[in-house]
Amino acid sequence: MSHVQRHRKFDADLIELPVASATVIEQGDMVAWDSSNNVAYPASSETWDTNLATTQANFADNFVGVAHRASPSGETTVLVATRGLHEFTCASANFDPGDTVGPAKATGNALEDQKVVAATGTSCIGVVADADAVSTAATKIDVMIGSILQPGSMAASAIG
């Protein structure tokens, strides 16, 4: 892994979630909740569905946050930040504060765990909050994440 995503600032609102023991989650991975199996999983484990936007939307519907620390094979929990400003890598592009992003497409039909691209509507997991990205093509951007576990979310009681 060439870049470890970093929690930059604001309350991270950490929660420990169960993980299947064979699942590997790295620090900085975008993480979602599988309500069928009651476990967390990284973006790369999202089942590909039709195209990038559809797959992103399926992941975003279950997005719980960003892994605050790694969960190697054999571990059965992961600590996830459900809020805060996080730094992600991205393909070189211009972003404006307020632009929305989702997981990028990996080689083949899979999502990237720690890389984002511009996304719209239901495909988003966060909002660009990086004023420096406005005037130059950025390869790292700060994103305010939007977890389904934010206060008032119905999903919080389903997981909790």
Identify whether 1 is part of a domain. Answer: no
Which residue range(s) make up the domain with 57? 6-159
Residue 9's pLDDT is 52
pTM of the model: 0.87
Identify whether 58 is part of a domain. Answer: yes
Identify whether 24 is part of a domain. Answer: yes
The enclosing domain of 62 has a CATH number of 2.40.300
What's the number of domains the chain is made of? 1
**Mean pLDDT, range 31-41, rounded to an integer:** 97
Identify whether 20 is part of a domain. Answer: yes
Structure letter (DSSP) for residue 25: B
Identify whether 90 is part of a domain. Answer: yes
For the segment 124-158, what is each residue's pLDDT rounded down to a tens digit?
999 998 666 555 677 889 999 989 987 644 333 33
Is 156 in a helix, a strand, or coil?
helix
